[in-house]
């Protein structure tokens, strides 16, 4: 068994309900959510494992781990006052 690492994207959920929506770029079918970052990441691990098992059951390729392949940065900009 190999240890693979996948990039996950956490986005804020519904403004009224909070939480986070999670997607996995390397596994387009993998989507989940969680009330906290910790919940969202735990659910991400579970959905990734389920997607990999499903792909194995169907004889499909498993994407290699993609840590380092995707880089996400935050950029600050100044906006003139209106």
Which residues, including other chains, have CB under 8 Å from residue 34's CB and lie 6 or more apart? Answer: 19, 20, 22, 40, 41, 42, 43
Spatial strand order of the sheet with 31-34 comes to: 9-12, 20-23, 31-34
Q: 66: closest CA among 6, 25, 19?
A: 6
What pLDDT does 51 receive?
95
Average pLDDT over residues 40-68: 90
Identify the sign of the CA torsion 64, 66, 67, 69.
Answer: positive
What pLDDT does 47 receive?
97
Q: Give the residue with greater pLDDT, 70 vs 13.
A: 13
Q: 70: closest CA among 2, 22, 5?
A: 5
Confidence of residue 50 (pLDDT cuts 50, 70, 90): very high
The pTM (predicted TM-score) of the whole model is 0.79
In the chain the domains, ranked by start, together with CATH numbers, are: 1-82 (3.30.160.250)
pLDDT per position as a tens digit, 4-44: 889 899 999 988 888 999 999 899 999 999 999 999 999 99
């Amino acid at each position: 068994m190999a240890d693979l690492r996948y990039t996950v994207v956490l986005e804020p959920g519904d403004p009224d309900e909070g939480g986070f929506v999670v997607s996995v770029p390397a596994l387009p079918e993998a989507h989940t959510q969680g009330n906290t970052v910790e919940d969202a990441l735990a659910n991400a691990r579970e959905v990734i494992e389920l997607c990999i098992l499903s792909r194995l059951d169907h004889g499909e390729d498993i994407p290699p781990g993609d840590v380092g392949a995707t880089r996400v940065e935050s950029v600050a900009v100044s906006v003139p006052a209106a």
